[in-house]
Structure 1
Amino acid sequence: MNDQTSRQGTSKAWLWLLCLLSTSALANWQEVVPEARVVGAGELRLFGFRIYSARLWSPAQPLAADTPFALELTYHRAISRDDLVDASVKEIRRLSGGAVSATQLADWRAQMRQAFVDVAPGSRITGVHLPGRGARFYVGQQLQHEVRDGVFAAAFFAIWLDPRTRNPELRAQLLGAAAP
Structure 2
Amino acid sequence: MPTTPSTTRPPRLRRMPPAAAFLLAVTAAAWWPSTVWATPEATASAALQDKQVQGNARLRVWGFEVYDASLWALPGFDAGRFENQRFGLELAYLRDFKGADIAERSIGEMKDLAPIEPAQATRWTQAMSSLFPDVKRGDRITGVHVPGSGARFYLNGRLLGEVADDAFSRLFFGIWLSPKTSQPRMRDTLIQGITGAARTP
**TM-score normalised over the length of structure 2:** 0.71
Query: How many aligned positions are there?
Result: 153
Give the alignment partner of residue 54 of structure 2, picking from 18, 21, 39.
39
Give the alignment partner of residue 143 of structure 2, picking from 117, 127, 130.
127
Aligned-pair CA distance for 1:33? 2.5
Partner amino acid, structure 2, of 1:111:
A
Partner amino acid, structure 2, of 1:132:
G
- Note the aligned Cα RMSD (angstroms): 1.8
Tell me, in whole angstroms, the C-alpha distance in 1 between the residues paired with 2:153 and 2:42.
Answer: 12
Give SS of 2:124's match: helix
Moved over 4 A (4+): none
Tell me, in whole angstroms, the C-alpha distance in 2 between the residues paired with 1:129 and 1:25.
Answer: 11
Whether contact under 8 Å (1:41, 1:54) holds in the other structure is: yes
Matches within 5 A, 1:30-179: 30-63=45-78, 65=82, 66-96=84-114, 98=115, 100-176=116-192
| Structure 1: gaps spanning 5 or more residues | 1-23
Aligned-pair CA distance for 1:43? 0.2
Give SS of 2:67's match: strand
Distance 1:171 1:26, change over 3 A: closer
**TM-score normalised over the length of structure 1:** 0.79
Identify the residue that residue 28 of structure 1 maps to in structure 2.
43
Aligned-pair CA distance for 1:47? 1.9
| Structure 2: gaps spanning 5 or more residues | 1-38, 195-201
Aligned-pair CA distance for 1:119? 1.0
The sequence identity of aligned pairs, in percent, is 37
Whether contact under 8 Å (2:40, 2:152) holds in the other structure is: no
Give SS of 1:39's match: strand
